[in-house]
Structure 1
Amino acid sequence: MEAAGRGEEPEIYNLGGASKMGRSVEAAALLMAAALLILSAASGHEWKAGHATFYGNIDPRESQKGACGYDDVFTQGYGNMTAALSTALFNDGLTCGACYELRCYDDPQWCLPGTITVTATNFCPPSDKPSTAGGWCNPPLRHFDLNMPAFLRIARYRAGIVPVHYRRVPCVKTGGVKFEMQGNKDWIAVLVYNVAGAGDVRWVAVKGTWTDWIAMERSWGQIWSVQSQSALVGQELSFRVTTSDGRTVQSDGVATSNWQFGRTYEGKQF
């Protein structure tokens, strides 16, 4: 969003009811929710075929960060049941936070019984190797590069790569949606995590004490930002979060007026 010119009061600070920008944000949110509901209904939760490998070693903390913007998947509640997704699944980061149930199949020598549920927290990039000889994450392959402890729950270490069935499942979380404040007074960024239900966030809006709702832009992964809104510093902040299934949760007054960068605030949960 562009900053207002000098001497001009941006319309979002209109104190006399909803501004044109506020109404446009509301309309955009409704359209987004409708589109996401259609997408969710079409995708379903049927089992699909893919493959899985592992990265890192038995110490799961080797994979604590990643391309979704999470600082530490352990302190932020994702544990060691995490996965880096191939291009076909990662969807340019939009799938970050989604949960998948996986089971190894059709390989009795290497498969173990049971299923695991993992959260998408990282990206497995394409390789210059052939898709059949090491380029497991090349398009259009649907591939899960698992944290090693997760892989060892469904397959033996020496397998290396195994066929899996996978499906989207609801994410189960403890506590509310978390908002980690990043950036500075001129560029406010928020990492949205610990999201239950669909898990993957598709739209975020922020509202200050004296502003209308402001649609945030997705910077990367699940980091959402708004440019040149320094007036939000010193205001109480509320958030609206919409996930890929079209559901929205509104958390009013999440961050009090003395909120600080680097701190995390907790809102309502889906």
Structure 2
Amino acid sequence: MASSSIILLVLVTFAIRDAHASVNSWSYAAHNNIVGRSTLAIFNHQQRPKFVSGQWMQAHATFYEGGSGTYGGACGYEDVVKDGYGMEIAALSTVMFKGGEACGGCYEIKCASDSTQGCNNAGRGQSSIFVTATNLCPPNYNQASNNGGWCNSPREHFDLAKPTFLKIAQYKTGIVPVQYRRVPCKKWGGIRYTITGNPYFNLVKVWNVGGAGDVVGVQVKGDTKLKWIELKRNWGQKWETKAMLVGESLTFRVKASDGRYSTSWHVAPKNWQFGQTFEGKNFK
């Protein structure tokens, strides 16, 4: 009888321990299921490699004149110089602009004309320019794609700021063939978030983005009532939401075109005001 009691006691002890382990495992799994949707987006980007330069492709380039306050209209950049892009910028043809998704992306461009009347460096080693997409080159279907309608679909075309075009090609040329490729964007400091609008309609400009440079998704959350919500692209890199952001300490999360995420925790304090800009974590 004593031996039987000891065996029974051991079996019960193991059963209790296994049951406790099962409960803990279930609790852990349940917790992961609850928070997984929010944390998965935050941490998955750590498994993705940094954005790297793409393959060389063919296109053409022209130039247009303007100022720092006009070169960024279609992307929502009010002043490309103040926003850190300088005059090294380009308007993209419709097929490349992708309804504003390309805004903020960076490109390396080389003039590819064999004519001495085309490239500044014809017959010598080709020099590169590095530009950021800040505008749209609209199509002109009243003109042929190869004769004036340079930005008509499906042409891939860069309309460069005049000072930048003149670094690689001659003014009298007007249009030159180019080679180009996507390259990582190198930015000083963090991603900037500029909030405008009113308590019932918020517009967030996302700029100075490193890495891939072009943002394809934005989320925001507060510190009290506001949970993670998706913002909608208004135009270019301006993102909108009608959620009540006022009175919340705001955290922003952006998704770049290469699938990487960057989360900037509590970059805007509870007492933030419309018109202010806040700096968060950038892509390396």
Q: TM-score range by the shorter chain?
A: 0.7 to 0.9
Secondary structure of residue in 2 paired with 1:67: helix
Name the residue aligned to 1:55: 64
Aligned counterpart for 1:76 among listed residues 63, 79, 83: 83
Q: CA deviation at 1:24?
A: 5.7
Structure 2 Cα separation of the partners of residues 120 and 188 of structure 1: 24
Task: Choose the corresponding residue for 2:228, options 180, 194, 213.
Answer: 213
Whether contact under 8 Å (2:255, 2:261) holds in the other structure is yes
C-alpha separation between the residues in 2 aligned to 1:62 and 1:72? 4
Q: 2-side partners of 1:18 and 1:205: how far apart?
A: 20
What is the match of residue 211 of structure 2?
197
Q: Which has the larger radius of gyration?
A: 2
Paired with 1:225 and 1:238, the residues of 2 have a C-alpha distance of: 15
Q: Describe the superposition over 1:61-110 as per-residue Cα deviations: whole angstroms up to 9, x where unpaired.
A: 36443100111100000000000000110011100000000000133321
Who is 1:157 aligned against?
171
Contact 1:111 1:154 in 2 (8 A): yes
Q: Which residue of 1 aligns with 2:119?
A: 111
Q: Report if the CA contact (8 A) 1:124-1:137 is conserved.
A: yes
Unaligned stretches of 5+ residues in structure 2: 1-30, 122-126
Task: State which of 259, 271, 279 in structure 2 corresponds to 1:246.
Answer: 259
Helix, strand or coil for the counterpart of 2:165? Answer: helix
Q: Give the alignment of 1:64-103 within 5 angstroms.
A: 64-103=71-110
Residue identity matched to 2:57: K
Matched, 1:187 2:196: no
The size of the alignment, in residue pairs, is 242
Which secondary structure state, in structure 2, belongs to the residue aligned with residue 88 of structure 1?
A: helix
- Pick one of 110, 123, 147 that aligns with 2:136: 123
Question: Is residue 56–residue 63 contact of structure 1 (8 Å, CA) maintained in 2?
Answer: no
Matches of 1:269 and 1:239 in 2, distance apart? 11
- Rounded Cα–Cα distance in structure 2 between residues aligned with 1:264 and 1:190: 9
Structure 1 contact 209–235 (Cα < 8 Å) conserved: yes
Q: Structure 1 unaligned segments of length 5 or more: list them.
A: 1-16
CA contact (8 A) 2:222 2:249 kept: yes
Residue identity over aligned pairs, in percent, reads 49
Q: Which runs of 4+ in 1 moved over 4 A?
A: 17-20, 22-27
Q: State how far apart, in whole Å, the 2-side matches of 1:69 and 1:18 are.
A: 38
Structure 2 residue matching 1:172: 3-state secondary structure = coil
Amino acid in the other structure paired with 1:65? G
In 1, the alpha carbon distance for the partners of 2:61 and 2:182 equals 15
Q: What RMSD in Å do the two structures reach over aligned CA positions?
A: 2.5
**Distance apart, 1:18 and its partner CA:** 10
Shift of 1:133: 1.1
3-state DSSP of counterpart to 1:123: strand
Closer, same or farther in 2 for the Cα pair 1:182/1:156, shift >3 Å? same
Q: Judge which range, 208-217 or 148-157, deviates more.
A: 208-217
TM-score norm. by structure 2 comes to 0.79
Instruction: Confirm or deny: 8 A CA contact 2:62 2:160 kept in the other structure.
Output: yes
